[in-house]
Structure 1
């Protein structure tokens, strides 16, 4: 029997069902469902902290994260909000209101993350640890390296960094930057690959501390058996979870 593919958070699942794809953006509903599930699991395990997105655009993914917040937590959305025009921030706020995210639960941060120090980033995100950080900013090596260092410095010890557009045909070597980050920080591992929906809804990587992997990987395989690619992935010596919409093995 096929299990329902949901996050388990009613407000988030309602948004994913009717709203998510009405907000411009390129994150997939498939990945947002899995990330929402992970945030729910964090809450159930007592992992507390706010969330941040670098590259919030018009709010598609940040609204999803906002619906997964626990009491007292906050969502921070970073973007220059000037592309493709100077009304992006207005549309971001309107989308959040339209899809039920209360204004008290989130703060747009109109900053170029590439120009922020770790201390400035901390000050703009409440100075507490962040339990979930989504990075979807400038897709070139130097900016991604900087965004990863910001996230690394502020991540909750059991938190998750989610990287968008990994293995995207438009950015085929962006993963080299992630490999360099993981090499420089051997305490961090690629815990899960969330496969693409299509070329405009590309894969995501979920990264966490090595000692936090057990909090998530078995639960993901058990919670999403119909999406689990059982061979997993060879992630620099770590056998990571792979979730895809249509898992199958080649006939040989």
Structure 2
């Protein structure tokens, strides 16, 4: 059963308003191509009836985390984890900017929990302030430690927190500034990653200092529906589908110009149900 947009915690228009305008007012490395595909992903989760909490490892000033928060439905919560300096918490001004940016979009302490901590000190399944949410995360961004072992650890944290229909947003794939991230993602799929598999590539569509490519990762039970839905809604930016890390038919979205997405309206919904057989 799909999730009614009337259940949106911040109102149905809030996500679109942020994606089209508000995101540009928040510093960070989230490009318009990623915004376009992630917006479609959120619509697909609502259509597929996939609820749950949202989270991000490495929130910086909140550019992506705000988008995740604005996707929340009634009764859901957001979880943020960031080191904010070394030692943890030493850059208090960054934490304050993060909290202030959320407040500008109506996101207050009642809506999210923030852990100021090095993720390497956390055992998968034991994220602080997240015991009730463990295993109930539907969207989680991984953009923390960029060293190989750190990325592998954060992907394990994300996988342990993910619910059955959840998706991991892995940042900085193929980023020339951080080649160890790409190395870690390949190694993740070579290792014991369970039923997790690549869902889609989102190419960078700007200079490296404004962001990099992302890889969406989901469970085998839901990956085919996500792939079908993203290829439908973002068909104008679909470059091709190819195998990656031993998994077939992974769509790549590339942006020659401004990203172009199709809203999940009545017509698109009927097509989606046909190609996914109403699953």
Under TM normalisation by the shorter chain, which class is it? Answer: 0.7 to 0.9
CA contact (8 A) 2:19 2:39 kept: no
Q: Name 2:107's counterpart in structure 1.
A: 101
Alignment partners' CA distance in 1, 2:159 and 2:204: 25
> Displacement, 1:159?
0.9
1:204 aligns with 2:214: yes
Deviation at 1:196, TM superposition (A): 0.2
Structure 1 segments (4+ residues) deviating >4 Å: none
Query: Tell me, which stretches of 5 or more residues in structure 1 are unaligned?
Result: 1-8, 248-252
SS of the residue 2:37 aligns to = helix
Q: Match of 1:232?
A: 241
Partner of 2:165: 158
TM-score by length of 1: 0.88
Moved more, 102-111 or 175-184: 102-111
CA contact (8 A) 1:52 1:133 kept: yes
- What CA RMSD, in Å, does the superposition of the two structures yield over aligned residues? 1.9
Cα distance in 2 between the residues matched to 1:10 and 1:163: 26
Name the residue aligned to 2:155.
148
After superposition, the C-alpha distances for 1:83-125 in whole angstroms (9 at most, x for unaligned) are 7932111111110111233442222221111111124216526
**Is the Cα contact below 8 Å between 2:52 and 2:76 reproduced in 1?**
yes
Q: Distance in 1 between matches of 2:125 and 2:232?
A: 39
User: What 5-or-longer segments of structure 2 have no aligned partner?
Assistant: 1-11, 258-279
In the aligned structure 2, how far is the partner of 1:99 from the partner of 1:125?
A: 27
Question: Which of 120, 126, 132 is residue 120 of structure 1 equivalent to?
Answer: 126
Match of 1:217 among 227, 234, 241: 227
Instruction: Report 1:41-190 matches (<5 A).
Output: 41-82=44-85, 85-121=91-127, 123-124=129-130, 126-128=132-134, 129-184=136-191, 185=193, 187-190=195-198
1:242 to 1:125, Cα distance in 2 relative to 1, 3 A: farther
Quote the residue 2:27 is aligned against. 24
Residues 115 and 129 in structure 2, CA contact (< 8 A), matched pair in contact too: no
Distance 2:113 2:133 in 1: 14
The number of aligned residues is 238
CA drift of 1:172 comes to: 2.2
Q: Could you tell me how far 1:27 is from its partner in structure 2?
A: 1.6
Distance in 1 (CA, whole Å) between partners of 2:137 and 2:101 is 24
Normalised by the size of structure 2, how large is the TM-score?
0.80
Contact 1:49 1:73 in 2 (8 A): yes
Instruction: Indicate if the aligned counterparts of 1:53 and 1:77 stay in contact, CA closer than 8 A.
Output: yes
